[in-house]
Amino acid sequence: MTALPRKNKANSLMRKEQWVTYLLMTAPGLVLYCVFLILPILMGIYYSLTDWTGIGTSFNYVGMDNYVKVFTNDKRFGNALLFNLRYSLFLVAGIVIIGFMLAMLLNREMKGRSFFRTLYFMPAVLSMITIALVFKQVYFYVLPSIGQAIGSAVLSENIIADRNLAIYGILFVHLWQGVALPTLLFLSGLQTIPVDLYEAASIDGANAWHQFKSITVPYILPTLSVVLVLAVKQGLNVFDYINAMTKGGPGGATTSIAMLIWQNAWERNRFSYAIAQAVVTGLIIAVISFVQIKFTNDRKVE
């Protein structure tokens, strides 16, 4: 009769010890997360409700005035948002299509497969600023020389100096580097698909298209969801390539939201307004990411 209470007491003591262990193991990371992420976010939201210039300690509380200006009186923010949406659309399409095609190729049995996998991932380990500066010189010196040699009027001029073509010059550089990680993610997703499913479908008479549509796509949707979120985030937050290559020019044609926030904060000393723009951008990214994840989760294979 006394064995059962003793056993329950022992189990209760073990659970308490486990909770103490979990708490001690997670406490350092939790503290760092709160100090370097949660606290700055809360402070940023607070300062966005003021007229702080970023210089000095005096400021006034203005409530939602900065947010009202973002949506009503700031055409530059609207133009930057349209640029980011257009840029993100091209970037997402390019990353998904190119990354998935490369992953399909690298997933096949072929000679030197490990070498090609390493080769395609190499751009991901390079600095974005370094790559942007290198391609800036390529667009300025190399490409015009090639265009003149082959008689191409489009390539004979600096692409990133043209209002209509600058976005595509930046986009090409972003895709060249940014497609590496999605390719790796797609490759990992493809390798989780059971080979038996393809063999069974082949025996049942399913051709390559039906196998792709009915097996590959449903199993790859969780990976696609992650890639979409990362690509949209990169598109809406693009800054390094633009800052290194065009500074938002020519004539503001490549001014992104991140570039506009940087200009307001560091060139115009409008820190509180810049923070309000950053908060709005974060909410836009969160909403788009939620819709993407919800859409893909409803269609993935359990």
pLDDT truncated to tens, each residue of the chain (302 aa)?
455 566 566 667 677 778 888 888 888 998 999 999 999 999 999 999 999 988 878 889 999 999 999 988 889 999 999 999 999 999 999 999 999 998 988 888 777 767 777 777 788 888 889 999 999 999 999 999 998 888 888 788 899 999 999 999 999 999 999 999 999 899 988 888 888 888 888 888 888 888 888 888 888 888 888 898 889 889 999 999 999 999 998 988 999 999 999 999 988 889 999 999 999 998 988 888 888 878 776 655 55
pLDDT at 259: 94
pLDDT at 97: 94
The amino acid that residue 189 corresponds to is G
pLDDT at 3: 53
Question: Rounded CA gap, 168 and 246, in Å?
Answer: 12
pLDDT at 16: 78
pLDDT at 39: 94
pLDDT at 5: 62
Tokens of 186: 């797609």
Question: Rounded CA gap, 170 and 135, in Å?
Answer: 9
CATH superfamily, domain at 65-297: MetI-like (1.10.3720.10)
